[in-house]
Structure 1
């Protein structure tokens, strides 16, 4: 049970960190090229969410194969665990996206 909770926590923070870090660094790059950073940060945060989820759960198609194989073989517990990993990674990416939106609100670009 602790390895399951550990992986859930790691997936959440990995997805959160990818969106937050990628957006913040993209905002810095926008400053260097004399563009409005808030606009770029929002675009990057929106576009990177799906990739943050994929990276958090394993980075390949294998997690989906695990769900398919276990579900078709009747082993629901591993399939449900894998689905929960996706859900938690989605929540982490979405929370980071909303944090970026909140940060960019004050800049007048929203």
Structure 2
């Protein structure tokens, strides 16, 4: 259980950090390029969301392969764990995207 919670927590914060960090750096870059930072940050956060999930769960097709092979073998517990890891990563990326949207809403 400890492994599950620590892996799920890491997936959440990795996805959260990718979206927040990418949006912040895009906002800084947009200032140098004389573009509106809030608009660029919201757009970047939305585009980074799926990539943050992929990076958090391992960056490859392996988690999907684990789900497929375990379900085919009739073992639902490892497949359910992988699905939970994906959901935690999605939750982290989604919360970060919403946070960027809330912070930039007043600036647009």
Question: In structure 2, what is the Cα distance between the partners aligned to 1:55 and 1:34?
Answer: 30
> CA RMSD for the aligned pairs?
0.4
TM-score by length of 1: 0.97
Runs of 4+ with deviation above 3 angstroms? none
- For 2:24, the equivalent position in structure 1 comes to 24
CA distance in 1, matches of 2:49, 2:68: 23
Show the counterpart of 2:8: 8
Cα drift, residue 92 of structure 1 = 0.3
Describe the SS at the equivalent of 2:59. Answer: coil
Which digits, 9 at most, give the CA deviation of each residue in 1:37-69, with x for residues without a partner?
001001100000000000000000000000000
How many residue pairs get aligned? The number is: 108
Other-structure match for 1:74: 74
Aligned to 1:33: 33
C-alpha deviation, 1:106, in angstroms: 1.2
Rounded Cα–Cα distance in structure 1 between residues aligned with 2:72 and 2:41: 41
Structure 1 residue ranges without an equivalent (≥5): none
The match for 1:55 is: 55
